[in-house]
Amino acid sequence: MSDFQERAEALDAADGLAGLRELFTLDDTVYLDGNSLGALPRHVPARMQDVITREWGALRIRSWDESGWWSAPERIGDRIAPLVGAGAGQIVVGDSTSVNVFKAVVAATRLAGEGRDEILVDATTFPTDGYIAGSAARMTGHRVVPVAPSDVPAALGPRTAAVLLNHVDYRTGRLHDLSGLTAAVHDAGALAVWDLCHTAGALPVGLDAHGVDLAVGCTYKYLNGGPGSPAYLYVAERHQAAFDSPLPGWTSHADPFGMTPGYVPADGSVRGRVGTPDILSMLALEAALDVWEGVAVEAVRAKSLALTDFFLECVAAYVPGGRVTPVTPAAHAERGSQVSLRCENADETEAVMRALVERGVVGDLRRPDVLRFGFTPLYVRFADAERAARILAEVLAA
């Protein structure tokens, strides 16, 4: 047994979160792609069997009331809230991240008021966010200004209405300064909209503490809600009375069953709803969130940093010099919960990842030359990090 294997064994033995791994359906594979799709919590299939056979099969329409289907978007939102540092009543679950980005960006431009016609967008953003922001700008008469997150303070001005930023760069794993950038946006009189897809469930976010205006996020990554599980929308309480959704669906109406032709928005986070909730995937998410009972996000963050530190150390020791280069920042304050490695030879990136998967190490890649490894602290072990680095070295050496 190597020194790194011995260290991994000792770190796993001392890990206060180690027991949570048993709550998930896992095998001998080293699964480092939870930043794309989280693992299945073991109890979710039984819960869904009950939803399908009893709530849908036996109770049918009665379940909207008797099984709490109608209130699920707000109820589940309140369960997500502590994981992102939000008080109750500010998060509603439903729709996709893309749809919620559209709601948030358009609503932010309306909240910003007259004379502000620019939307600053993270130039390194996940493509969909940029596409949606561009469409929102065309529809509202604004113009999009792409800007690197570090350059946002200098780009802000009296014409800035809203700024759309990713908390973590999906390619590199770089963590951006949510607190400082939000403060700079506010100093310029604009609103801050954050995409939390790569941070919710991996590290403390502090939406309320840092005065974020609006935020969106998915639930199928670190929150383990399942493929295509519904996203969520955060609207700070101070903005809710003026929040003007560009998608005023019937379920966000103050009297949804009144079926009146005129739209009157409901109070609170309900304003973020649109159509009929996607109950099956929503209740799978609700069940998945049970794994967070009694788990502190701060403890998850501490393990995340320890895991990624250890993986980077193993890679440096095992992998032949120059074959891969970390593009994820070494500084803890600038790192999310993934490690991205740039291949020296871009042409071999896909072959390397295929070989890793064939040998039981599942990560993913971003063309042309980035290998991504996501570390989900609820179930990834230090032994997994060591094994992944060791097999990566063997693949590259071959």
221 included as an active-site residue: yes
What's the rounded Cα separation, in Å, for the pair 228 and 281? 8
Q: Which of 31, 170, 220, 232 is catalytic?
A: 220
What's the rounded Cα separation, in Å, for the pair 82 and 94? 18
372 included as an active-site residue: yes
For residue 138, count CB atoms less than 10 angstroms from its CB and return exposed for 0-12, middle for 13-18, buried for 19 or more.
exposed
Calculated CA dihedral for residues 202, 205, 131, 162, nearest 10 degrees = -170
232 included as an active-site residue: no
Contacts of 382 (CB under 8 A, 6+ apart): 7, 8, 9, 11, 12, 15, 306, 307, 310
Q: Are 165 and 193 in contact (CB under 8 A)?
A: yes
Q: Which of 79, 116, 221, 271 is catalytic?
A: 221
234 included as an active-site residue: no
Residue with tokens 């209130």: 71
Q: Which of 33, 129, 169, 195 is catalytic?
A: 195
Q: Which of 103, 273, 303, 372 is catalytic?
A: 372
Q: Which of 24, 31, 126, 373 is catalytic?
A: 126
- 165-192 burial code (b ≥16 CB/10 A, e <16): bbbbbbbbbbbbbbeebbebbbebbbbb
H helices present in the chain, as ranges? 3-14, 44-50, 63-66, 72-80, 97-112, 127-140, 152-155, 178-187, 279-288, 297-318, 349-358, 382-397
Q: Which residues are catalytically annotated?
A: 126, 195, 220-221, 372
